[in-house]
């Protein structure tokens, strides 16, 4: 059963997006408009990230927030599709000091129906986005001022490291490889430091200082006369108003794995515990234990048990372990369920890796194709269409039918995907043939 979702509040009422440091420090493989779109969708969904699996926004509000003047919904669909296929690895700078690696996609799914865009995040990303130990507030109006995706990515990084109290900050030293990853560069792109410095450091810094509410300076670390790392120093831009505040999470400092925002709120709001009581409970007991006990307390209340002091009653339940006793059958059933979940999680990780691999392959072959002469391009596409006709006649008939209706190849996504697969196979064959000759 789907969660009921109120979509009456337009996205324009959200003026900022709260972004987990890990979400900021992702490999930047999306373009500027796609990154801005993801920020807006996250802002709209943030308050209900844990309670709801799906979120909705009016397409017209999304377009208005983007200041996107095109009426080409197909382009919007392509942009959203890219967000569901873009794999991301988080925390590449290890800001929080933990050795954790993760991979997922920016969006798990998107549908558009009756002018409503419905979207969802993967379970692991929902938890990461909602429960940060450090987060930055990124102005949605500010992001619209940038014309470069690299400038927006570095702006978000610098806001994340800005200390509002001392009105300044600095990023850690970033190895050039880490910086290239942050910018989403492919192998061989801007391979010389001279080009990297001109296009992705100097121009990026210049755009941020000119258009944003922060002012940054870059410093270089050299080894044997070669630059090996960079860092940014950040301060408020005196000509551009106030910087968005970087805030500490109220649960910062709790033991690892206990900083669960939804559990903390539940203890305070539903069970009327004070901040210090909730904090002490989360330091003392395991998270699963707390949930099992308060679930039992909640069950008793809903069954009509009269309780004069719910906070004291809850504390007693935790101290005396009022968890419902489980039979061996239930324990074994839960064990099987847990094993199934582990298998499913492993499968999802493999699928995400495969998605990234396919995406990288498609980008590589697209670059090879774009470097060819027009005659070679036409020859390869003719060959790809011949493959489609002989090996996938069903899809070829769809292509013919769409052509008779006046559709272009861009209007027929499944057909286009099949054609590009054949194109890539042809390019791969020619590449290996060249290498062996």
Q: Residue 307 corresponds to which tokens in the numbers above?
A: 């309780």
Q: How many C-alpha atoms does 229 have within 13 Å on its Cβ side?
A: 9
CATH class of 145-249: mainly alpha
Confirm or reject CATH 2.30.30 for domain 1-136, answering yes or no. Answer: no
Residues of the chain with CATH 1.10.10.10: 145-249
Q: Are 57 and 41 in contact (CB under 8 A)?
A: yes
Cα 377–Cα 381–Cα 384 angle in degrees, nearest 5: 145
Q: Are 256 and 198 in contact (CB under 8 A)?
A: no
DSSP states along 157-206: HHHHTEETTTTEEEPPPEEHHHHHHHHTPPTTTT-SHHHHIIIIIIHHHH
Neighbours of 46 (CB within 10 A): 16
Q: Are 105 and 355 in contact (CB under 8 A)?
A: yes
61: exposed, middle or buried (Cβ count in 10 Å: 0-12, 13-18, 19+): buried
- Alpha carbon dihedral 300, 304, 306, 309, in 10-degree steps, equals 50
Q: Residue 319 corresponds to which tokens in the numbers above?
A: 């101290």
For residue 153, the SS3 value is: helix
Collect contacts of 303-312 with beta carbons under 8 A, ≥24 apart. Answer: 310/271, 310/272, 311/271, 311/272, 311/273, 311/274, 311/277
Residue 330 neighbours by CB under 8 Å, 6+ apart = none
Query: Over its length of 437 residues, how does the chain's per-residue pLDDT go in tens digits?
Result: 444 444 444 444 444 555 555 454 455 566 777 878 888 888 888 777 777 889 999 888 888 887 766 666 788 888 888 888 877 665 544 444 455 667 778 889 999 998 899 999 888 778 767 654 444 444 555 666 777 778 888 887 887 777 766 678 888 888 888 888 777 777 778 878 888 898 889 999 998 888 888 889 999 999 888 899 999 999 887 765 544 444 444 444 444 443 467 888 889 888 999 888 888 888 788 888 898 899 999 988 888 888 889 999 999 999 888 888 777 787 788 888 888 888 888 888 888 888 788 878 888 888 888 888 888 888 999 998 898 888 888 888 888 888 888 888 878 888 888 888 889 888 888 766 665 55
Residue 142 neighbours by CB under 8 Å, 6+ apart = 155, 212, 213, 244
Q: Residue 144 corresponds to which tokens in the numbers above?
A: 């619209």
Nearest to 150 by CA among 87, 79, 210, 202: 202
CA distance 136 to 161: 8
CA distance 264 to 261: 5
């Amino acid at each position: 059963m789907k969660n009921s979702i109120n979509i009456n509040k337009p996205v324009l009422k959200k003026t900022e997006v709260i972004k987990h440091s890990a979400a900021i420090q992702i490999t930047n493989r999306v373009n500027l408009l796609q990154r801005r779109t993801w920020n807006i969708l996250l802002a709209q969904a943030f308050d209900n990230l844990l309670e709801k699996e799906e979120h909705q926004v009016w397409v017209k509000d999304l377009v208005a927030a983007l200041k996107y003047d095109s009426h080409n919904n197909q382009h919007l669909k392509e942009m959203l599709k890219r967000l569901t296929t873009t794999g991301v690895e988080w925390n590449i700078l290890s800001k929080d000091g933990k050795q954790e690696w993760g991979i997922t996609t920016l969006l798990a799914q998107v549908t558009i129906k009756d002018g409503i865009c419905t979207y969802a995040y993967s379970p692991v990303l929902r938890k990461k986005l909602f429960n940060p130990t450090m987060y930055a507030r990124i102005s949605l109006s500010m992001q619209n001022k940038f014309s470069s995706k690299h400038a927006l990515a570095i702006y978000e990084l610098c806001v994340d490291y800005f200390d509002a109290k001392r009105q300044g900050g600095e990023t850690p030293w970033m190895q050039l490889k880490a910086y290239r990853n942050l910018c989403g560069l492919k192998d061989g792109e801007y391979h010389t430091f001279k080009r990297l410095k001109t296009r992705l450091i100097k121009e990026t810094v210049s755009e941020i200082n000119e258009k944003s509410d922060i002012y940054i300076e870059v410093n270089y670390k050299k080894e044997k006369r070669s630059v090996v790392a960079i860092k940014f120093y950040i301060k408020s831009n005196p000509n551009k108003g106030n910087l968005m505040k970087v805030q500490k999470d109220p649960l910062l400092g709790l033991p690892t794995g206990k900083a669960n925002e939804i559990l903390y709120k539940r203890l305070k709001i539903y069970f009327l515990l004070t901040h210090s009581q909730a904090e002490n409970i989360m330091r003392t007991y395991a998270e699963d234990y707390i949930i099992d006990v308060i679930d039992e307390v909640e069950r008793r209340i809903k069954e009509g048990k009269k309780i004069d002091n719910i906070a004291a009653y809850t504390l007693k339940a935790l101290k005396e372990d009022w968890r419902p006793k489980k039979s061996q059958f239930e324990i074994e059933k839960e064990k099987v369920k847990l094993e199934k979940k582990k298998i499913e999680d492993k499968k999802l990780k493999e699928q995400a890796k495969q998605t990234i691999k396919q995406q990288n392959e498609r980008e590589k072959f697209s670059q090879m194709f774009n470097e060819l002469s027009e005659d070679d391009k036409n020859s390869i596409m003719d060959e790809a269409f011949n493959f489609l006709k002989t090996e996938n006649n069903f899809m070829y008939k769809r292509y013919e039918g769409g052509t008779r209706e006046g559709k272009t190849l861009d209007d027929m996504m499944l057909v286009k995907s099949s054609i590009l697969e054949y194109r890539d196979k042809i390019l791969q064959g020619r590449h290996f043939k060249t290498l062996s000759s």
